[in-house]
Amino acid sequence: MANANRDNKRDHSERDRNCDQQRSSSLSSVIVPSSSLSVSEQYNLRQKQDYKERLSTYSAKMGNVDNNVDDKNNQKSNNSSRTSGGTAAISIGSSSSSSSSSESVENELVQLLALQSYHLPKNSWMQDWIQYMGNNHPVFGICCHSKIHPIKSCTRVVALVGTFTFGLAMTNLFYVFFLWNPEFNRMLLLWTLGGCIHGMFNLAMWHIAACACCQKGGCLERYACCPNLGSKMIRVSVLCIVFLCIMIVLLRVAINEKEEENNQEQQQYQLEEEYQYINNRGIDILIDDQLDLNVQNISEFTFVLSYLVEMVLALFVYYPIGGTMLFSGILSCGFNIPVLGGRPYEIACEQRRNARRLKRKSTASTATA
């Protein structure tokens, strides 16, 4: 009996709990008028409603905060992508502008070197003189020329061969002139006039070899059918000089043969006269003194010596002196002459170019503003 009573009490308590839960759910879902509820039930209902409202507002606030955080993160990512894209664009633009500026500077230097300029930008007097001699001298220029110079070592070697050939042709030509005009001093005229002509020839050869119109930055850079026109022209000119030298050497050999024949005839005539004179005296003695090898060897030695001295004077005396005179601008006598003005004339031209550039930049900035 006691167990049955206990089971009944448990069933009643469970039923009461279920009823309370159903009431609470019904109260939460259905708006119940306050008049049908007791004071304690109304108080509980209000607390539950307040709790639900606070929970809903809190969840809404948290959702808004999360959304704001997501928006901020998205904005940061977008801004970072924009800034990265902007920096990439700026870096690409700066690299392209720097490459274009460096290319323009290199083209300008190539033009100046091709024109045998006495002055390069930002160089002192001594630096300009060293670069002028190192880039344009026929011998020193083979090893001391600039890396961006349009005339390379192979063309310089060809030009040096042409220089030696021209010196040989000049020596033979003056030798022939001396044979026809013995009243002139042989060595003095060759070492002065011949050396000066040889130095002028060397200066002209470099102007032909450079051909600034067909180099980088020149007016015919894109339209010239042959960018290496200068090097090919100098090879053709050297070939012509070689043929000219061969003709002059053959002419000298022919004249020497005629001179030797005349000398032999004169010697034979002198020997006959001596023989007749000895026979008239009654002494039958003939002294054979036809060995004049010493004179012949000396003449050949003087020709080679004159050629070597003329080459040394032309390359290492007249060329540096003439180049320094042109470089200093002494021959212009204070006037702005393109070739004879030298380094001062080119500095004045550079200042005028810089002034024009600044003027164009200022006009462009004012137009954009």
Q: In whole angstroms, what is the distance from residue 238 CA to residue 240 CA? A: 5
pLDDT of residue 41: 67
Residue that is written with structure tokens 């808004």 in the block: 64
Of 205, 262, 192, 276, which Cα lies nearest the Cα of 238? Answer: 205
Count Cβ atoms below 10 Å from residue 158 Cβ, excluding itself.
18
Longest distance between any two alpha carbons in the chain, whole Å: 201
Task: For residue range 24-70, list pLDDT tens digits in order.
Answer: 444 444 444 444 556 566 666 776 676 667 666 656 655 554 555 45
Give the residue-averaged pLDDT of 8-14: 58
Cβ contacts of 314 within 8 Å, gap of 6 or more: 163, 167, 194, 195, 198, 199, 202
Q: Which two tokens stand for residue 206?
A: 């470099």
Of residues 11 and 287, more confidence is placed in 11
* Token output for 329: 């601008």
Could you read off the pLDDT of 227-278 as tens digits, one per residue?
A: 667 777 888 888 999 999 899 888 888 887 776 666 666 666 666 666 565 5
pTM: predicted TM-score of the whole model, two decimal places: 0.59
pLDDT tens, 164-217?
Answer: 999 998 888 888 888 787 777 667 788 888 888 888 888 788 777 766 565 555
pLDDT digits (tens, 9 = 90+) for 110-121: 778 877 889 898
Q: Does position 125 have pLDDT exceeding 70, yes or no? A: yes
Q: Residue ranges per domain, the chain?
A: 13-28+38-102, 118-328
